[in-house]
Amino acid sequence: MRRDQPTHLPQSCITPEPVYRRRRELLQLLGLGAAALAAGCGSEAAAPQAAAPEAKLPDKSLAVASHVDDANGEAQTTYADATHYNNFYEFGTNKSDPAAHSARFVAHPWSVEIAGLAEKTGRFTLEDILKGQALEERVYRMRCVEAWSMVIPWAGFPLADLLKRFKPLASAKYVAFTTVERPAQMPGLAYPILDWPYREGLRIDEAMHSLTLLAVGMYGRELPNQNGAPLRLVVPWKYGFKGIKSIVKIEFVERQPRTTWNLMAADEYGFYANVNPAVDHPRWSQKTERRIAGTGFNLFGNRIETLPFNGYAEQVAHLYAGMDLRKNF
């Protein structure tokens, strides 16, 4: 039985236990000790845009062919909050680290390897990937496993449109993804917090679902480095760690792929990671979430109930018919 163990700490200060333990060991080795750990949590409690010098953000606007509001008109998170309160451990474990430490990351030129069980494989430039794709703007609710959420307008195109071009074989049951690994540009890689490079995966019917998006922008602009430039996955009915960033490899495979957080702590991070308020994290409840939207960053306010499948049950619940969603969390 997975039990709710409430915490008195702000949700923004909660770090997954395996990461916290490794981070503490690393800090002790560096002679920083417990004081640095406490300071690290305190820095997250401040408004994200004030926590660190602002990284240079892209200003190139994107032309989108259509607009779809899949958040039912809910107030959007501000651009400042969405780009300064992030999980992207390749740049650091604090929420402010990605914006502060990603300015040196080079997102262009870019290429993606397509591999595995498909008729067409190889390495393709970003221009190849985007060729013939009409970008859409989709406003999605995004839910983090740490019990905070945002409403973000993404610019991108259905992942299915790309995958079909490579003609996956009937034996391909899953799609695996890999993040770029550049230690010189991603300072978080210097620490063995996770098993780098970051890996994620979807069942192929999830990958082919019309809601699953390959995003290249947000808020009408190119995707900032801290949000996964130049190419990231967006799966709005799943917890945010499924949304792998800065993708360099897409592989069609027969067996369920090994994924980073599931390998790190399988009891906390399931492969499916569907937003489910009935299945608590071992150390906190998933029944509610702190929505960062409309009024800017609010550490304790905007508390709302979490919806099954993050509010997209009507569109995706059929994918899991007959499955035990407590076991397959």
> 166-187: per-residue pLDDT in tens?
999 999 999 999 999 999 999 9
**pLDDT of res. 12:** 46
246's tokens: 């800065």
What does the alpha-carbon distance between residue 248 and residue 239 come to, in Å, rounded to a whole number? Answer: 21
Q: Which residue has the tokens 């808020």?
A: 219
Q: How far is CA 2 from the centre of its chain?
A: 24
Q: Is the pLDDT of residue 294 over 50?
A: yes
pLDDT tens digits along 51-110: 344 455 677 899 999 999 999 989 999 999 999 999 999 999 999 999 999 999 999 999
Topology classification of domain 11-320: Sulfite Oxidase; Chain A, domain 2 (3.90.420)
Return the pLDDT at 185.
Answer: 98
Residue 11 has pLDDT above 80, yes or no: no
Q: Tell me the C-alpha distance between 227 and 157, whole Å.
A: 17
Is residue 309 very low, low, confident or very high in pLDDT (cuts 50, 70, 90)? very high
Q: How far is CA 146 from CA 182, 281, 283, 286, 288, in A?
A: 27, 9, 10, 8, 10
User: CA-to-CA distance for 314 and 311, rounded, in angstroms?
Assistant: 8
Query: Is the backbone peptide bond immediately before 230 cis, with ω within 30 degrees of 0?
Result: yes
Judged by phi (left if over 0) then psi (alpha if -120 to 50, else beta), residue 72 lies in left
Residue among 244, 248, 246, 282 nearest 260 (CA): 244
Quick check: 142 and 312 in contact, CB under 8 A? no
Calculate mean pLDDT across residues 296-314: 84
Q: Considering the entire predicted model, what is its pTM?
A: 0.86
Residues 137-176 have pLDDT tens digits of: 999 999 999 999 999 999 999 999 999 999 999 999 999 9
> Which residue, 60, 226, 76, is CA-closest to 138?
76
pLDDT at 9 over 60: no
Structural domain spans, the chain: 11-320
CB-based contacts of 233: which residues, under 8 Å, 6+ apart? 159, 177, 200, 212, 213, 214, 215, 242, 243, 244, 245, 247
